[in-house]
Amino acid sequence: MEHPISEFKTKRGIARLLAACRNTADGLSWAWRSEAAFRQEVVVIAIATVVALLLPVSSFQKLVLIGVLILVLIVEIINSAIEAIVDRISLERHPLSKVAKDMGSAAVALTLLLALATWAVVLYNRYL
């Protein structure tokens, strides 16, 4: 028995790659236009990236400092996707909708804590 194929999965080769790039650009564009938290995080991360690149630490430490910031954006995008799916299903208040949105928010908060801890450890080891 052959599995049904989604109309969205019919592209192959370079057409699939180009479609994936368009989808990525659309997702980032939507996040920028629609999510204030995403915009705020991008501004902070842009500044922190410059700081990380200027710090007198190893290349690996710079990568970790910047990487953990990118992780914050990744989790923020996933959180926004969860919120969009919940809202698409229903705008009614429901306990499970709250759970889904709260868990997405908790994931962002934990990622921010990881980023702060990472920066604190690298800076502590460098300057103290």
Residues catalogued as catalytic: 76
55 burial via Cβ count (<10 Å: 0-12, 13-18, 19+):
middle
121: region left, alpha or beta (phi > 0 left; psi from -120 to 50 alpha):
alpha
CA distances from 114 to 69, 78, 111, 123 (A): 9, 17, 5, 14
Which residues lie below 8 Å from residue 57, measured CB to CB, with a gap of 6+? Answer: 65, 122, 126
Q: Cβ(52)–Cβ(65) under 8 Å?
A: yes
